[in-house]
Amino acid sequence: MTTPQLACPLCRHTEFLQQQGRISSKHNFVQNPVTLMICKQCNYVLPFWEGKSIYLS
């Protein structure tokens, strides 16, 4: 798995901690595997679902 180069939208830092996790929805019981990229500088969390980024196009 390759990690795209990304910059924190808040502080423009480019080093992130990567964590795997799941987000569950109370309403429809769907669990989506999610990758969390956590900015090492300000701890801002960028979630990615199944390779799709909501921040990169």
CB of 7 to Zn ion, least distance (A): 8
- Residues 1 to 57: which contact Zn ion by CB under 5 A? 8, 10-11, 13, 39, 41-42, 44
State the amino acid at position 5 in one-letter form.
Q
Asked if residue 3 lies in contact with residue 33, where contact means CB atoms within 8 angstroms, the answer is no
Phi, psi of 44 (to 5 degrees): -65, 135
CB of 52 to Zn ion, least distance (A): 21
- Number of shown-chain residues binding Zn ion (CB under 5 A): 8
Which residues in this chain contact Zn ion in the complex, by CB under 5 A? 8, 10-11, 13, 39, 41-42, 44
